[in-house]
Chain A
């Protein structure tokens, strides 16, 4: 970024200081989590916290020894991938139609559903899924997690579709293309980076979502994040194990975010800089 003549050098220092501050605020709990996962359990809660300690892999070993950690991870993957695909399957056409018709109220409704507290849905869903005997099934989790993924996909893709000149879609219409083919042959390829951004965001939010899995899963379909709750017992909590689980849970979203950060930033600011 080139400096404008009027910019004072001290502004750069303020920038750096603010970024460092933000970094500390964000990174401290993360660092605490990662460090704690390598500490013996009794040292995690020690006060004052120990910064120098002999690292141990015991917490990670306990994780795999005492719990079916791998199958929880597979459950998480199935639910997250399933709900992300479901979100894309319905969210992408919805965003296209909302952009094309300029009727955005359904998208607003979807967003409101996302903003409502999850507990609001929980009881009705529990009753409904029990009536159709779906409690503990993957489908119950995938469908409920679509409440998270669908609004994300719609709202990330909307500005991408809006940014495509309308005449391109009209040219396709005149060229004899049906609306569905316009979506598939013209719309989708032109929002490919938006698809990547929305998939990743949907994946991360679904992966991290705790509440629905806690209530609607069973021992066989429990997701990682719900399973990690097992480490918090009444009276005694295995903090080391919990931190090890949390570190592993945080890895996939973290890796995804790093891999696609360039897309992510351009995608998140698209609506702001358009036009």
Chain B
């Protein structure tokens, strides 16, 4: 267990000691700060990225568009120039009637005029040029550096069915053919511009033939190949029908992109084909594509061809990506720097806090005198540190005052304890042992000092004063007042005045100087022990109870005057009551009947009567103790608000009673067990003479045997002979009294007798101790006195 405790302690220490952990303020706030900075950086980074990308894309688009435009303009110019030539020539053929040599000259001139004009021809309708010739077509073209001219047409080359002838004838206007490989004609990949020739025959425009211009595509290809798009971008040309006119990959030339698209070997042609089919996609500005390559398509208006530019996106943004990479690295370093700076700052900020934490631990261990760290700052932490200092001062003050009050309280408590001892010491504890009466009283203080009192003292040989009172209020004032009351009674009662006068006198004295108007309720009495008459006076107190020999309990009906100490008053009454032998007068305070239990119920008078009745056969001290015990059992752990006081006076009968004994017999026996038979004989004798029943006689025998053997066995420590006196007497009222006197050692058999548990099981039953129990059970009264060095035991039995 000790180990566990230790571990827990260490753990606690660790968590308490805030240095620079993950829970520290510095760390947490740095993290928050860093996250915020990162977020801001990220947002601006993304914005920059998007913005620059857009700009770069736009610029790239512009650049490429410009390049394409330039190329297209050049091509367009070429085509327009090319278109001009046949038109002029057509007019010339339409109006004039040129011969072969003129025509040859013109055609060769055209071929020479432009490098990309591969060849030119003039083809006529059947028999239109010469009446006897079906075909007539003249074609001039380049072969290396020289120009050749030859006739076209024949069974193997029916030019009327050729696209360049048919299309121009059918549409009646100049047309561009699709690129084709002209076998038997130019023997090269070319495109032909065909212009129809008309002549005015009798005022009517009549088609007579076609004039063509062959453009060598390799020449155009060279122009397009010159287009440079970034590092690896390239351009190619597609006809309106989708035939690739030029492509850097020469194997693709003359292939149709629609065929290629359906082939799906080259997926990029699919999107291209789609864009050409759906002309709206043409000219679209390039977008940062998902694919690595981006394509831009532009239409050539004169021919209906498309210029396609393909370029890798990465090259467009190449610099941007590099830039972003550097930006990222800078960003990371900045964050690290910010992080370190934040930590340093927060650590600096929280340094006083950590010192305060350390100080708190020391204070927690009771070190209030430690010097708190000086914090000069005026911010919140400074304020905290200052209030901490103030708190420590207040705490010191508070603890000091607490210590002071505690020690003062302890002092008061110990003084109260002393007061309690003094107060209790004032109550008479030595209860008189007289054969004519029994007296016992108990005072149970609710607090250290209480306001209840009981008192008794002899006025003379035969008269005794008794009282029970309850001072208003509790605590020290009540106990002081009680002391005053007691002292007054002790000093004033000796005078032999009647009780009501004594009460009135003391009342007057108490009223005289009583600014706090304290008062005391009280029942006082003076008993004549010889006659059994008692004078009682009640000043506002609980009415006493009286229990007769049979255990019948009743409340005494006394006049209740006002309590003592309230005002001067002369209405106190002395009431005379005659006690019968065996009567028990019960005086008590309301602490008895108003004892509370946990349910809030009162002990009350009727229960008190029951308890008294139950223990009617017990002697007076036992009776009082039984009642007090029953109160404690009733209340259990409930703390009582009031003192519990009870005084019981049991009146027996004066030994010097007015009743003269009718009969009397005395015997004297030596302390020898064999003398028991003398007792038996004497008992037999008096039983016969005094007319005592055999049952009573036997009981008397039993009792005397027990007492006699007891004396013989235990009373004498020497071996000498001692005499034991036994006196029997019978009074007129039928009381049989037996008095045993021995000069043995002190032995109060009433005190020594222990209660015998009659219900105990066999195993618990003691073999001895029965004798005194018999005596108690059989006799009605039993008393003990030590008189002049002798033990006097008086037994009484009512036999009539």
- B partners with A: no
Report B's interface with A, CB cutoff 8 A: none
